[in-house]
Amino acid sequence: MLHLGALIDMARGLVFPSPARTEKIIHATQALLDLTQVSALRLHQVTGLLAFCHALVPLCMFHLRPLSNLLRGVFNMRVDLTSKLIPLSSLVIQSPLEFWSRSDLVSQGVPFQPLPPSRVLTMDASSYGWGAVCSPLMARGVQSSDQSFSPYKIS
């Protein structure tokens, strides 16, 4: 079933970008791989296309964030023209572009219904104390005034 650019496979319980959307993503990112620079407008268009897939592609935001950070770091939409050229030579963005240019990764799909968590850990802290619950276990404690101003370290 096709719905708003997403293909829903009820038999397998998966949802993924439609073949047309997948082809558009692959074409757009492969074109960027061949460039050393791109206009801010084009990079913005491509990141928008990829952001559409946030719920359709596993680890979408992980592979989108370097491109978004690049655009945000060098382009100020209040001051810069959309024709401003953005360098694409960084190795940091090569890996995400390579991910998005592979149809087997873009079109693998995600479960239609999220799986329930196998464990739920709830934590809270204040200037007086801390606590954590992972049923049936519970831990809590009081912290000194010195500890209340220091950052927590998770190890």
pTM of the model: 0.64
Digit-by-digit pLDDT tens for the chain (155 residues) are 767 778 888 888 888 888 888 899 999 998 888 888 889 999 999 988 888 888 888 888 888 888 888 888 888 888 888 898 988 877 777 888 888 888 888 888 888 776 677 788 898 887 778 899 998 899 998 876 665 555 555 54
If asked whether residues 144 and 82 sit together in one domain, one would say no
Q: Are residues 92 and 138 in the same domain?
A: no
25: nearest Cα among 1, 76, 60: 60
Domain count, the chain: 2
Range of the domain at 145: 117-155
Residues 81 and 125 reside in one and the same domain: no
Q: CA torsion sign, 31 to 32 to 37 to 38? A: positive
For residue 74, how many other CB atoms are within 10 A of its CB? Answer: 14
Overall size of the chain counted in residues: 155
pLDDT at residue 115 in the model: 64
Q: Tell whether 106 and 138 lie within a shared domain.
A: no
Q: Do residues 83 and 127 share a domain? A: no
- Decide: 113 and 9 in contact? Cβ < 8 Å: no
